[in-house]
Structure 1
Amino acid sequence: MPDAFALLNLPPQAALTEEQLQAAYLTASRAAHPDQAGGDTQLSADLNAALEMLKSPVTRLKHLIEQHSNTPWRAVPLDASLMGLFEKLGPLLQSAGAFLKKKQTATTALSKALLASEEMRLREALENLGTSIEEAWQELEAQLPRYDDRIAAGEGSVWIELQAIQARLAYLNKWRTQIREVLLGLML
């Protein structure tokens, strides 16, 4: 993909607000929209893809690193705080999977009622872990503006640190999605 930042006429930054993205997208897409005189279907599609890529910090950081650094990708191990979340998530997801099987096989009103308290405990544990994951996400996202000054200054070590942030955000995003899916499964 072409440089999404350049397509939207945005500086290559780790931190972008929804307002910045929307304003840049609207400005760029007005002239390119296929319904406008001189509009360009391919450019319009590229602008849409650029917006989608830059919306999420996970994909934005990956794109930023790929487009603006020569740093090779490397595996990033979980730090202690993320490992603590993961150690809670694994068993909780296993418990949820086992519970969902029990819930599917429950056919009588009595058997379903007997599962209600277990479901409430499971739902509460998932929601609490989801809150912890969201807090960790927000902490990482709040750090992003500090990296923009270092990028602008041409500091080479910033890219390795951004890779670590991107990896942590990717883990958290995956875990967030897993929790949402299980909570939705409990609703059915």
Structure 2
Amino acid sequence: MNKYNNLQTFESISSLQNNCKKNDILVEMIHHDLNKMTSEEMKRILSKCYDDIYYKRELLRYEFFNRSTTPEKLEFKDFIKQTKNILSRYHHIVGGFLIEDREWRFYDATSTDYNLDNDEVYFENTIDRTDDQDRNTLLYLERLIEIINMIATNIKVRYKIKHRDQLSWIVIRAKNNSKKDNDTNNIEISL
């Protein structure tokens, strides 16, 4: 997994170098005049260094860490749809880079891998065991859970990391509390 992360870092650096196209004039301007530049001049130079993918990622990162919504009572199926949208919107774009899969696996009461009630679902992914306590990954997961918990007043979301062999399993559990279930803090996950 560490090789993959180093490759991602290398690709980011090479992308930046290619986007700037090693423009000697631009580099000289930054080197000599950076402290004298206005905010507008710095923005104009930055726009020559980055592409739209970079801007989109940074805007989504800003949204991710500053997002605030007022939760409302939702049908469970609507909550699931919104959660899937959130996972696909942010995962591997603003964070969670050490988590192995780009898409989260979904389990509900019809799944055979877990014994779930009709009012609960799991979203599952894996991470190398050596990376499961990575500070950035944990911050990303905590914020992700905060955002998902902002969706609905009647559904509680938690996550848990379980270890097995060289992998750790990240399981996000959503439970509909409309039936007044007092067991929202207990996530029992058998692997």
TM-score for both structures, normalised by structure 1: 0.24
Between structures 1 and 2, the one with greater strand share: 2
Q: Higher relative contact order by CA 8 Å / sep ≥ 6: 1 or 2?
A: 1
Between structures 1 and 2, the one with greater helix share: 1
TM-score for both structures, normalised by structure 2: 0.23
